Amino acid sequence: MPGLNGLDLAARLVDDKRAPRVVFTTAHEAYALQAFEHAAFDYLLKPIRLERLQRTVERLKETLAAPAAAPAADMLAGLLRQLGATPAPAAPAPAPAAPLQWIRAAQGQETRLIAIDEVIYFQSNDKYTSVFLADGEHLIRTPLRQLRDQLDPQQFWQIHRGAIVAARHVAGTRTDFRGRLLVRLKGRDEQLVVSRNYADLFRQM
């Protein structure tokens, strides 16, 4: 695009309610934070896995099918023709925020970007939240109750007031000698307690 790059364009679109859903596809992880600051719908790192791309496409279809979806293509074309022009006021209400796609976790003096697809489960940990991945545990400052509201409820299930598990990592359940319902995880030894308030999730398992 002459005169601006993808981040520049996203910055121009972010405050306009008619803006299209922007998905970045890049080999550079370093720009993810800037992309999401400009309300990126998703950020796909190359090489892009087919499963990951399919999930993004499905989420885009669901969002664009909503009644509040705007004529984004026309708006984008007009913006590219008139760089710097002030967009017209938006009439429709904004669509619901897209589910969380990335998490920032501190590692010493550095920050690690964790794709939500990497998460096996979240667990409340005093003032922090522990994020469990295949390669270990990381701490984030976002409280579990706040994190829950940003997650896709179809992909992440709250099983206890202090635990949320990725549905795709659930292998099944069992009841221990104390009568507690436990979630078994694929390829992992630990088992997570399900509180009575959330036991209905697993009645059919």
Question: Is 87 inside a domain boundary?
Answer: no
Domain boundary among 81, 114, 137: 81
Residue 57's pLDDT band (cuts 50, 70, 90): confident
Q: Is residue 1 part of a domain?
A: no
Residue 205 has pLDDT above 80, yes or no: no
Q: 61 with 54: CB under 8 angstroms?
A: no
User: Is the pLDDT reported for residue 92 higher than 80?
Assistant: no
pLDDT of residue 30: 65
Question: Which residue among 81, 113, 133 closes a domain?
Answer: 81
Task: Return the percentage of the chain with pLDDT > 70, whole number.
Answer: 68
Determine the average pLDDT of the residues in 85-94.
53
**pLDDT band with cut points at 50, 70 and 90 for residue 1:** low
- β partners of residue 14: none
The answer to whether residue 56 scores a pLDDT higher than 90 is no
Chain centroid offset of residue 161 CA? 20
Determine the Cα–Cα distance for residues 34 and 89; give it in Å rounded to an integer: 25
Q: 72-81 and 6-13 helices cross at what angle (nearest 10)?
A: 120
| pLDDT of amino acid 50 | 82
On whether both 131 and 192 belong to a single domain, the answer is yes
Query: Same domain for 140 and 191?
Result: yes
Q: Measured between alpha carbons, how far apart are the two ends of the chain, in Å?
A: 51
Q: What is the pLDDT of residue 186?
A: 94
- The residue ranking higher by pLDDT, 2 or 58, is 58
Whether residue 173 is contained in a domain is answered as yes
- Alpha-carbon torsion 102, 107, 108, 110, what sign? negative
pLDDT band at 69 (very low <50, low <70, confident <90, very high): very low
Instruction: Tell me which of 51, 81, 111 is where a domain ends.
Output: 81
Strand pairing class (42-45; 23-26): parallel
For the chain, percent of residues with pLDDT exceeding 90: 29
Examine the pLDDT at 4 and tell me if it is beyond 50: yes
Instruction: Count the domains in the chain.
Output: 2
Report yes or no on 70 lying in a domain: yes
- Is residue 44 a part of any domain in this protein? yes
- pTM as predicted: 0.55
Query: Does some domain include residue 114?
Result: no
The residue range of the domain holding 23 is 6-81
CATH number at residue 22: 3.40.50.2300
Residue 53 in any domain: the answer is yes
Residue 94 maps to a domain = no
In tens, the pLDDT along 140-191 reads 988 998 999 899 988 999 999 999 999 999 999 999 888 899 999 999 999 9
